[in-house]
Amino acid sequence: MTGRLDGRVAIVTGAGQGVGEGIARRLAGAGASVVIAARRAETGEPVAEAIRADGGDAVCIVTDVTERAPIEACVAATVERFGGLDVMVHNAFAGGTASRLEETPPEVWFQMSRTSAWGSFWCAQAAYPHLKASDQGRIVLITSPSGVEGSANIPLYSPAKAAQRALAKSLAREWGPDGITANCIAPVAETPALASAFSQVATLRGAIEARTPLGRIGDPVADIGGVVAFLAGPDAGYVSGQTIVCDGGSFLGL
């Protein structure tokens, strides 16, 4: 992928760790200038520094995706610094703990929907005029296999992530005439959150690997970032409105 995204400018929300960090690193490795839109500079700046140390172009902009104004400010600062915006990747998410639906407080839904559904909406609105001005505008929303097949453990997580899939389909229809593609990816990858779950449930890693035909858990840079880099690049200009499940073959229902 080296050089495939030369001259392109991308924002990746929630890029201070995990999947978002992996996406940012892969996009930068392919030649894009990348904005690490992280809620905290303590996590975002080290990622930007690491990308720069590898010869890439990256900057951290502190961004709270639960509010419209910080997202608009991030987009404005990106355009001012780099001269435009070609790729918007909304990955940031704040989730809740496992519980049955009847035991789940409303605050869990407010938190999940604020970062996923509302965050996607605000990212799309703020990015649209710049993606339209780009010759290859792209928006990628990071959803989840649970947004397709549901979840018995975190029931509100599924509709929060499914909302992103519906939005991407609508954006693909509305923005297609402007040359903008809109897609989702649904990843399963090694992240700090998953590592924490592994530490609490000793059998969890083995169970995930056993149900995965490829027999392993995805790498945020190579496996997940690679798919986003494809969607952000010239070879995916005719792919829009789709959800690509990056989970090693665990979910085969699409």
Q: Residue 54: its pLDDT value, please?
A: 96
User: Which residues are CB-contacts of 91 (< 8 A; sequence separation ≥ 6)?
Assistant: 12, 13, 14, 15, 19, 20, 23, 142
Q: What is the pLDDT confidence band of residue 254, given thresholds at 50, 70 and 90?
A: low
Local structure of residue 191 (DSSP, 8 states): -
What mean pLDDT, rounded, does the chain reach?
93
What is the largest distance, in Å, between two alpha-carbon atoms of the chain? 51
pLDDT mean over 152-156: 84
pLDDT of 94-132, one tens digit each?
A: 876 778 888 888 888 899 999 999 999 999 999 999 999
Residues labelled catalytic: 157
Q: Residue 50: its pLDDT value, please?
A: 98
Q: Which domains does the chain have, with CATH numbers?
A: 9-246 (3.40.50.720)
Q: What is the pLDDT confidence band of residue 163, given thresholds at 50, 70 and 90?
A: very high
State which amino acid sits at residue 19.
Answer: V
pLDDT of 176-224, one tens digit each?
A: 999 999 999 999 988 777 777 777 777 878 888 888 899 999 999 999 9
Its pTM surpasses 0.85: yes
Q: Residue 149: its pLDDT value, please?
A: 86
Q: Residue 85: its pLDDT value, please?
A: 98
